A and B are shown apart, each in its own frame.
Chain A
Amino acid sequence: MTTATTNIAARAVDAWKVYGSGEAQVIALRGVDVELEAGHFTAIMGPSGSGKSTLMHCLAGLDALTRGQAFIGETQITGLSDSGLTKLRRDRVGFIFQQFNLLPTLTAEENILLPLSIAGRKPDPDWYKTVITTVGLGDRLGHRPSQLSGGQQQRVACARALVAKPEVIFADEPTGNLDSRSGAEVLGFLRNSVRDFGQTIVMVTHDPNAASYADRVIFLADGGIVDEMLEPTAEGVLDKLKNLDVTAGGA
């Protein structure tokens, strides 16, 4: 669906998100403008309360902006009905969450095919084989989530997001609940899917090491974009974050 004239997979224009009112009012996003390129691995970082998760939720059609617009490709998602958003998520977006990512009643294979089953579509057999081979779950496909390790579960979740070939995959702290080795496996896998298959991935994380797998890191603080970094390294990201904490703490 991405048009030839632009290679922007998702963008936000003057995005505002306000929770509550009066004394209890919290402004999570203050007029954010951001464009996320297709075929790239973008990480969104920032301290707690910076609005990074809110930005991702609004871009993914899970939450609605208070003001401004969000787009997936050229489709404006702001103002879509619940069924419109559902259809959008089903057909054009993939998700990877931090935890409780799989349905315990389904086998690994059924979990992977869940979005396609819901949409009533058949998987492309070649692509399915490729995905399975990439995540390395060949002999575990018949297992239930409770019989898999945390890393294996998250790889199943990655496979689920990939198999439907969505325009963009949103990953919310995908390594938050994993040990460092499993985390590295999952991140490597995500990066490879961008390099080898041209998948677009947007990842929210607070882990500089995870962010170093991305092509580009966007830094948020106090509901606004404060900086960005291309071809990041873990050390570089960490330094940026320290600065942010200082400025945020000082403000």
Chain B
Amino acid sequence: MLRASLKSLFSRKLRLTLAIVAIVLGVSFLSGAFVLTDSLGARFERLFTSINQNVDVQVALSDDGQDADPTPRITQAQIDAMAALPGARSVSGDVSAVGVIPFDREDGKPATTSGAPQIGGGVLGDDPFALVQLADGRWPSTDDEIVITRYTANQTHSATGDRLRVFLPEVNEAREFTITGTAVYDGDRDSLAGETLILFEEGFAQRTFYGQEGLFSGAYLGARDGVTQEQLREQVAPIVPDGFEAKTGEQANEDAASEVQAGLSAITTYFFGPFAIVALLVGIFLIFNTFNILVAQRASELALFRAMGASWGQVTGSVLIEAVLVGVVGSTLGLLAGIGLGLGGSAALTSLIGAQLPGAGITVSATPVILAYVVGILVTVVSAFVPAIRASSVPPLAAMREVNRPDKPLKALTIVGLVFAVPGIALLILGLVGSSLTPLLFGSLLTFLGVVILSPLLTRPLAGVIGRVVGWGMSGRLGVRNALRNPRRTAVTAAALMIGVTLVSAASVLGESFTRTIDQTINQSVGAEVIIQTNTTGGPPGEIGFPDRATEQVRAVPGVDQVVPLYVSIEARVDNAAPPFGGTFATDDLAVMRDMFSMKAVEGDLRTLQPGEFVADENTFDSRGWELGQSVPIQLDKGAEQQYRLVGVYESTPIWTDTLVLPKQAVAGFAGPLALQGYVSLDDGADTDAVVDGVERVMADYPLVTVGDRSALLDQFDSFIDIALGIIYVLLGVAILIALLGILNTLLLSIFERTRELGLLRAVGLNRRGVMRMVGTESVVMAVFGCLLGIILGVGLGAALSSALIERDFLTVIAIPWVSLIVFVVVAAVAGVLAALWPAWRAARLNVLQAIAYE
């Protein structure tokens, strides 16, 4: 039996190839994510190993120490004590800070990196661990001297002897320094991972970064010959100050690498996850359909097996064995493609970082391999299960003659479909009424499944209407009739396309609603003409942004009426619960902010806040069950928990939902003292462009801060949504590709089954073009049918989600992106034509005589 099914398997390579493609795509995205993460992780591990070469023990802030306020430091005396340990050969105190950003000498703009840290450090002379070496010049010896790495020099177009402007964190200002030398890393490397590094005289660095000389943020120790890393660590441990911990060099590398890897894995999962899911989901339909087709084509062969005494189980088994083989081949190819994807992705990311991450080849751990095979085989076998059962029900009589097996009635299908769809819609309504997301999401899922199952019922009415539009002439009408004659097959084929279109339509509705909402809200309620923003990829709010002194300078710019600086904390725990989703804000005068943002008081008063007072939006107020005048404990980023009294509640709007506003004094407890955003209103008749220029001059010293008018802000919001939609459109592309294969597959089967009909049509005078048009029309009807189902479902789900978000004040309008939806239909129709090309060509080339000849 196995032999027989293997033989028949190889005789149908083409059709199975189509099924395999779906598995290959899905598995490659899945395994690619893992391979990419692992390979980049390995590169970072090499990176940390090279940073910590010769370091045997590292003393660094512990988790507790990182949260403590003020941040603990190590004193010179403690460094000396470590140096006096019997196992220590050398000790080096660490003086460093991130966010030290140089300005390009050519254009005066900040030289930022794409994600790599921008480091400043203090040096006394040669690095005892020889990681950094002078390439030319000398080490800095005064407050206004620096040494920069060669990469930094290249990025800023500067060289030894030049003056270089550098932004210093903590003091939050830009100063000019003289470059006394350039440095390279061990092995003559310009940079380790695309970071910039500026080295100051140690005393200056300590005063700038830590407020006084003689303080260090950590220490590196080298062991004497014969002393192991662990032995040295045990010697250091008792004298490590509070808030610090000692780790062996190996341990430190491992911890640092695994932290980076966790971050990478989150990114790759979010990026590749949806692709893998969509590809596999669509693949299930494709495989299901393929196996159905194979079973239908092989009916007489299977019946012969049965007639010769093969059992029910053997026939089912033979189909399932095929499925396993398809799964294995698909998984293998998918894994290889995934490794390629990982290789390409890692190369692309490395070049994006723009630096020489140490190469470590490609790392393929066991996880992606096991996952690839488990998922690939499981998906194939599950999809082939129903066709396998169907195969076993072929009556032995079918071997002898054509047994007409009419389509099963759709009654059972209807019931099953309704079992999903009815509770699904009920949950959707429940979710909308109760404005809770969980029933809404489950409802969407159930409704989706219900419609998938019910889609054969919709084939005749919906595809019939489509057919009336696209079925021109006799051959067009015949194509439409062919699409309608097997509703199940048409529906399953179309469902593959429907999945992708549903996702994209729903996302488009959400995206369009967000764009409109933001446009409306900002235009109606933001009174600022000039807006100051900070690129938040540069660090946590508070540590990046602009200082109060810059706010005062902006207030002095001619034409400026009012300025509202916004300080943001994203980690404040409120009332012993999670931070508010919209953020915790502080500003210097709530009364000015109220006018700037047209905030309306629902309860209490929106006046200038006194220390210990706060206001919140209505949604937060309601959901947390507060009362006006109540004291609420708030734990800010730093310092002890403190009671704040609720003195006012403002109306929730899309930009002010789930938010709190604290008085300026609370900023002391934020991650840093900087304001993240500034909103500037103008005097009557002031020239916006002139004010933008004036504010830009003030902000020129703060590397991550940008200044723009209101339309610049809108563009920025829109570009976020466009990026999100862009990813989703790529997703649609993948889904359409797989769906195309499904249509191709179905058409090939139909042509095979209707050989005689085609022969008859040709005999009575239908020319080749007519045949091709007939097949093309059938294809377009299926594709547009799937697309329309997807659009109806997607717009419905998108609108439901949007209205739930309106309920929570994230949105104000539901907007339907008509243009995009029309584009989807056109794309589907074109896809239908493309899918039909080859089958239509085959149908047209059919030998008329062979088609009508009878045995």
With contacts A100-B756, A118-B770 known, is A63 near B849, CB below 8 A?
yes
With contacts A83-B767, A86-B766, A98-B854 known, is A103 near B761, CB below 8 A?
yes
How far, in Å, is B402 (CB) from chain A's closest CB?
Answer: 10
The stretch among A89-97, A191-199, A228-236 that forms the contact with chain B is A89-97
Q: Is the CB of A86 within 8 A of B854?
A: no
CA distance A103 to B479 in the complex (A): 12
With contacts A82-B768, A86-B762, A115-B764 known, is A106 near B481, CB below 8 A?
yes
From the candidates B475, B478, B767, name the one contacting A86 in the complex (CB within 8 A). B767
Which residues of chain B are near A102, meaning CB under 8 Å?
A: 760
Q: Is the CB of B474 within 8 A of A117?
A: yes
CA distance A114 to B473 in the complex (A): 12
How far, in Å, is A20 (CB) from chain B's closest CB?
Answer: 15
How far, in Å, is B266 (CB) from chain A's closest CB?
Answer: 53
Which residues of chain B are near A120, meaning CB under 8 Å?
A: 473-474
Q: Is the CB of B764 within 8 A of A95?
A: yes
Q: Is the CB of B760 within 8 A of A97?
A: yes
- Quick check: is A182 within 8 A (CB to CB) of the other chain? no
Which residues of chain A are near B848, meaning CB under 8 Å?
A: 62
Most central of A57, A91, A100, A117 by chain B CB within 10 Å: A100
Among A83-132, those with CB < 8 Å from B are 83, 86-87, 89-91, 94-95, 97-106, 114-115, 117-120
Q: Is the CB of A114 within 8 A of B764?
A: yes
The residue of chain A having its C-beta at the shortest distance from the C-beta of B406 within the complex is A146
- Quick check: is A216 within 8 A (CB to CB) of the other chain? no
- Quick check: is A155 within 8 A (CB to CB) of the other chain? no
Q: Is the CB of B765 within 8 A of A86?
A: yes
Which residues of chain A are near B171, meaning CB under 8 Å?
A: none
CA distance A114 to B765 in the complex (A): 9
With contacts A83-B768, A104-B485, A118-B770 known, is A95 near B763, CB below 8 A?
yes
With contacts A103-B757, A104-B485, A105-B485 known, is A118 near B765, CB below 8 A?
yes
- Quick check: is A160 within 8 A (CB to CB) of the other chain? yes
Which residues of chain B are near A90, meaning CB under 8 Å?
A: 764-767
With contacts A57-B849, A97-B852, A105-B485 known, is A89 near B478, CB below 8 A?
no
Q: Is the CB of A89 within 8 A of B768?
A: no
With contacts A57-B849, A117-B474 known, is A100 near B760, CB below 8 A?
yes
Which residues of chain A are near B761, meaning CB under 8 Å?
A: 103, 114, 118
Q: Is the CB of A115 within 8 A of B765?
A: yes
Mask, B756-798, CB within 8 Å of A = 1, is: 1100111111111010000000000000000000000000000
Which residues of chain B are near A99, meaning CB under 8 Å?
A: 854
With contacts A62-B849, A87-B765, A97-B760 known, is A105 near B481, CB below 8 A?
yes
CA distance A118 to B770 in the complex (A): 9
A-B contact count (CB 8 A): 73
Q: Is the CB of A89 within 8 A of B765?
A: yes
CA distance A153 to B544 in the complex (A): 84
Which residues of chain B are near A91, meaning CB under 8 Å?
A: 765
- Quick check: is B332 within 8 A (CB to CB) of the other chain? no
Among B715-772, those with CB < 8 Å from A are 756-757, 760-768, 770
Q: Is the CB of A89 within 8 A of B763?
A: yes
CA distance A131 to B81 in the complex (A): 116
CA distance A90 to B764 in the complex (A): 5
Which residues of chain B are near A119, meaning CB under 8 Å?
A: 765
How far, in Å, is A82 (CB) from chain B's closest CB?
Answer: 7
Q: Is the CB of B764 within 8 A of A160?
A: yes
From the candidates B760, B767, B770, name the one contacting A103 in the complex (CB within 8 A). B760
The residue of chain A having its C-beta at the shortest distance from the C-beta of B474 within the complex is A117
The residue of chain B having its C-beta at the shortest distance from the C-beta of A63 within the complex is B849
With contacts A62-B849, A63-B849, A115-B765 known, is A105 near B482, CB below 8 A?
yes
The residue of chain B having its C-beta at the shortest distance from the C-beta of A94 within the complex is B764
With contacts A57-B849, A62-B848, A104-B485 known, is A118 near B768, CB below 8 A?
no
The residue of chain B having its C-beta at the shortest distance from the C-beta of A176 within the complex is B854
Which residues of chain A are near B852, meaning CB under 8 Å?
A: 62, 97, 100
Query: For chain A, which range describes its interface: under 10, 10 to 19, 20 to 34, or 35 or more residues?
Result: 20 to 34
How far, in Å, is B623 (CB) from chain A's closest CB?
Answer: 59
With contacts A98-B854, A105-B482 known, is A62 near B763, CB below 8 A?
yes
The residue of chain A having its C-beta at the shortest distance from the C-beta of B485 within the complex is A105
Which residues of chain A are near B849, meaning CB under 8 Å?
A: 57, 62-63
CA distance A105 to B854 in the complex (A): 21
How far, in Å, is B523 (CB) from chain A's closest CB?
Answer: 56
How far, in Å, is B490 (CB) from chain A's closest CB?
Answer: 13
How far, in Å, is B271 (CB) from chain A's closest CB?
Answer: 46
Which residues of chain A are near B474, meaning CB under 8 Å?
A: 114, 117-118, 120
Mask, B834-855, CB within 8 Å of A = 1, is: 0000000000000011001010
How far, in Å, is B136 (CB) from chain A's closest CB?
Answer: 80
Which residues of chain B are near A83, meaning CB under 8 Å?
A: 767-768
Which residues of chain A are near B762, meaning CB under 8 Å?
A: 86, 89
How far, in Å, is B477 (CB) from chain A's closest CB?
Answer: 8
CA distance A12 to B137 in the complex (A): 103
Which residues of chain A are near B481, meaning CB under 8 Å?
A: 105-106
CA distance A103 to B481 in the complex (A): 10
Which residues of chain A are near B482, meaning CB under 8 Å?
A: 105
How far, in Å, is A179 (CB) from chain B's closest CB?
Answer: 17
How far, in Å, is A1 (CB) from chain B's closest CB?
Answer: 15
Which residues of chain A are near B765, meaning CB under 8 Å?
A: 86-87, 89-91, 115, 118-119
Which residues of chain A are near B757, meaning CB under 8 Å?
A: 100, 103-104
Among A123-149, those with CB < 8 Å from B are none
CA distance A102 to B760 in the complex (A): 8
CA distance A95 to B760 in the complex (A): 9
CA distance A80 to B854 in the complex (A): 25
CA distance A57 to B762 in the complex (A): 13
Q: Is the CB of B485 within 8 A of A118?
A: no
CA distance A90 to B484 in the complex (A): 27
CA distance A99 to B852 in the complex (A): 9
Which residues of chain A are near B485, meaning CB under 8 Å?
A: 104-105
Q: Is the CB of A118 within 8 A of B756?
A: no
Which residues of chain A are near B484, meaning CB under 8 Å?
A: 105
CA distance A28 to B763 in the complex (A): 21
How far, in Å, is B484 (CB) from chain A's closest CB?
Answer: 8
How far, in Å, is B280 (CB) from chain A's closest CB?
Answer: 35
CA distance A115 to B764 in the complex (A): 6
Which residues of chain A are near B854, meaning CB under 8 Å?
A: 97-100
Mask, B455-485, CB within 8 Å of A = 1, is: 0000000000000000001110010011011
How far, in Å, is A98 (CB) from chain B's closest CB?
Answer: 6
The residue of chain A having its C-beta at the shortest distance from the C-beta of B762 within the complex is A86
CA distance A164 to B663 in the complex (A): 92
The residue of chain A having its C-beta at the shortest distance from the C-beta of B479 within the complex is A105
The residue of chain A having its C-beta at the shortest distance from the C-beta of B475 within the complex is A118
The residue of chain A having its C-beta at the shortest distance from the C-beta of B763 within the complex is A95
How far, in Å, is B766 (CB) from chain A's closest CB?
Answer: 5
The residue of chain B having its C-beta at the shortest distance from the C-beta of A97 within the complex is B852
Mask, A58-87, CB within 8 Å of B = 1, is: 000011000000000000000000110011
The residue of chain B having its C-beta at the shortest distance from the C-beta of A88 within the complex is B765
Using CB atoms and an 8 Å cutoff, list the residues of chain B in contact with chain A: 473-475, 478, 481-482, 484-485, 756-757, 760-768, 770, 848-849, 852, 854
Q: Which 4 A-B pairs have the closest CB atoms?
A: A90-B765, A105-B481, A100-B756, A117-B474
Using CB atoms and an 8 Å cutoff, list the residues of chain A in contact with chain B: 57, 62-63, 82-83, 86-87, 89-91, 94-95, 97-106, 114-115, 117-120, 160
**17 A-B contacts (beta carbon < 8 Å):** A57-B849, A63-B849, A83-B768, A87-B765, A89-B762, A95-B760, A97-B760, A99-B854, A100-B756, A102-B760, A103-B478, A106-B478, A114-B764, A118-B474, A118-B761, A118-B764, A118-B765
